[in-house]
Amino acid sequence: MLKAERASYIQNRLAELYPDPPVPLDHKDPYTLLIAVLLSAQCTDVRVNQITPLLFARADTPQEMAKLSVEEIQEIVRPCGLSPMKSKGIAGLSRILLNEHGGEVPADMEALEALPAVGHKTASVVMSQAFGVPAFPVDTHIHRLAQRWGLTSGKNVVQTERDLKRLFPKSSWNDLHLQIIFYGREHCSARGCDGTICEICRTVYPNRKHPKQTKKS
């Protein structure tokens, strides 16, 4: 298969498997999604969904969160890992939202990336899942699958995001990044497939004999 043929097959197959992919992080509005995505760094979505109800019971708006100390936030989010950085980020971005954005999460990539502890991937997720703006958040899992499927040769998530955006129509980005995540978890995980086992890997590279080594993100 040529790269364009692989991309077309993958998009169609993922649409069949996951026709309406849900947002994996529980939230009720852009602010609670932003906090959940920030907490998900190096943490599973399952764990985040266990912790956010405890945090949001105390504070689910920038106004309420700004009343909590960094120490109080850290005590709640500790099970998500990286709690010193995450708690400072949550406290800091809540104050900035109040002081600079009228207490609202801005639907603007540059403004989101300017918030404490909010990187490009987090901002992309919020733009995509909270505001419906086409974005293609790429984490290490999507990076791994894109390499296994021959969609990128990039050595990092920045190049992989650029390559995927060129390959797939903009209208598909928001669903597709979720579909790849779900497929990776269920069929093409780091340990469950090495580029030769799952359905999509075997279809796009039927003659591959050796495991596909992922270039580090």
Sign, CA torsion 202/13/47/62: positive
Q: Rounded to whole angstroms, how far apart are CA atoms 184 and 29?
A: 27
Q: Rounded to whole angstroms, how far apart are CA atoms 179 and 18?
A: 6
What share of residues in the chain are helix, strand, coil (percent, to 5)? 60, 0, 40
> By C-alpha distance, which of 169, 123, 121, 120 is closest to 142?
121
Q: Give the active site residues.
A: 121, 139
Mapped onto helix, strand or coil, the DSSP state of residue 207 is coil
> By C-alpha distance, which of 194, 193, 196 is closest to 207?
196
Those residues with Cβ within 8 angstroms of residue 217's Cβ, 6 or more apart along the chain or in another chain: 140, 143, 155, 156, 157, 160
